[in-house]
Amino acid sequence: MATTLAEYARLSQDVLYQGIIETIIKESPILQMMPFIEIQGNALTYNREKTVPEAAFYAVGEQVSAPGAFQFDQLTATLKILIEDADVDNYVKGTRQNVMDIEAAMLELAAKAVRQKFESTFIYGTTTDFLGMSGDADAFDGIIKLIDTSQAGTQVVTMGGTGATLTLAKVDELVDAVKPGKPDLLLMSKRSRRKLQALVRASGSYLETAKGEFGEYIQLYNGVPVAVSDYIKDSHTLASGYETAVSGGSCSTIYALKFGEGAVCGIQGAGGLQVEQIGSLESYDATRTRIKWYCGIVDFSAVARAALIGVQD
């Protein structure tokens, strides 16, 4: 069963663990909403529906024909190792405790580093060279590769051959590309959100609001939460309607995502995110605490996510 990181934190009695989880998810709409499945081993192999045969009506007494063939793609999502260490100098810790809790501050910075790396990889992660980006075999593939914006289709909506100014009609087309039902999140850059707000105001309406996980206000477009990621670039370039790079241009991408088992979901090793006390360092007068996460993402359905590319201001 998939569980969000916030729920994992509530189930834990470890105050340090709870604090680190809260630091990680507080500023990440992705990690607030996306559930994780704990798996044994280092990978999850799954079948993704490709084609469904067509059913038929029959007359009374008519012989039923042989069933059509269901087709699936067998895919594998592999756990990757995400680590950040927090080293605390013993001299500083011993002489500056009256100013601030040095160890807590360093752990908070390490937790933020883990969150930032996961979120940027969730969007632009690629294990091989792809669309002008250098691959990192130690990372996992992000949604830019899972949706594959180099192959326009039902899950890739484009603003035009070289990009165009955002319109509400295109946002609606993006929302409709996700099935079944509506997406759980519209993820975009700050520039795209400003443009969306301006378009909605110009139409004589406004973006609704609701309270989020930490009491913050979340904007909604047609009932779908609107979230900003600082890692979505406004510098994409397009050629013939396809995204070919993520720098040097003036275009951005808006993602519509559905989360959960059967949609976009996280995976993690047994125990989830771990806080490991390494202890005293041999060569330095310091102690080390390690934040370690065996993690990745699973793309269970090809229609549970979509991208609107070529979005200009």
pLDDT tops 60 at residue 100: no
Rounded to 10 degrees, the C-alpha dihedral 128/130/135/138 comes to: -60
pLDDT tops 90 at residue 92: no
Give the residue with greater pLDDT, 212 vs 157: 157
Top CATH class, 5-49+73-124+263-299 = alpha beta
State residue 21 phi and psi, 5-degree precision: -60, -45
Band of pLDDT at residue 310, cut at 50, 70 and 90: very high
pLDDT tops 70 at residue 96: no
pLDDT tens-digit series, residues 169-185? 999 999 999 998 999 99
Per-residue burial over 134-143, b if 16 or more Cβ lie within 10 Å, else e, is eeeeebbbbb
d(CA 252, CA 103): 39
Cα–Cα distances (Å) from 80 to 86, 136, 139, 140, 301, in that order, read: 20, 11, 6, 7, 21
Q: Which of 122, 108, 70, 138 is nearest to 227 (CA)?
A: 122
Averaged pLDDT for residues 83-105: 79
State residue 242 phi and psi, 5-degree precision: -110, 145
pLDDT tens-digit series, residues 102-154? 788 888 999 999 999 999 999 999 999 988 888 999 999 999 988 876 665 67
Question: In three state form, how does the secondary structure of 276-295 look?
Answer: EEEEECCCCCEEEEEEEEEE
Q: Give the number of other CB atoms < 10 A from CB of residue 239.
A: 11
d(CA 166, CA 251): 10
> Across the chain, what does the average pLDDT equal?
88
Angle between helices 102-124 and 15-26 (to 10 degrees): 40
Query: For position 182, what pLDDT does the model report?
Result: 94
pLDDT tops 60 at residue 276: yes
Query: For position 251, what pLDDT does the model report?
Result: 93
CATH number of 148-261+303-312: 3.30.1930.10
Query: For position 152, what pLDDT does the model report?
Result: 59
Query: For position 188, what pLDDT does the model report?
Result: 97
d(CA 154, CA 256): 13
The number of C-alpha atoms within 13 Å of 248 and in the hemisphere containing its C-beta is 10
Query: For position 10, what pLDDT does the model report?
Result: 82
Rounded to 10 degrees, the C-alpha dihedral 223/149/259/229 comes to: -70
pLDDT tops 90 at residue 165: yes
Which residues, listed in sequence order, are joined to residue 221 by a DSSP beta bridge? 224
Provide the residue ranges of all domains of the chain, joining segments of one domain with +.
5-49+73-124+263-299, 148-261+303-312
Q: Radius of gyration over alpha carbons of the chain, in Å?
A: 22
Q: Give the DSSP letter string of 244-262.
A: EESSSSSBEEEEEE-BSTT
What percentage of the chain exceeds 90 in pLDDT? 50
| Unique residue bearing structure tokens 């909604």 | 220
In sequence order, the 6+-apart residues with CB closer than 8 A to the CB of 66 are none
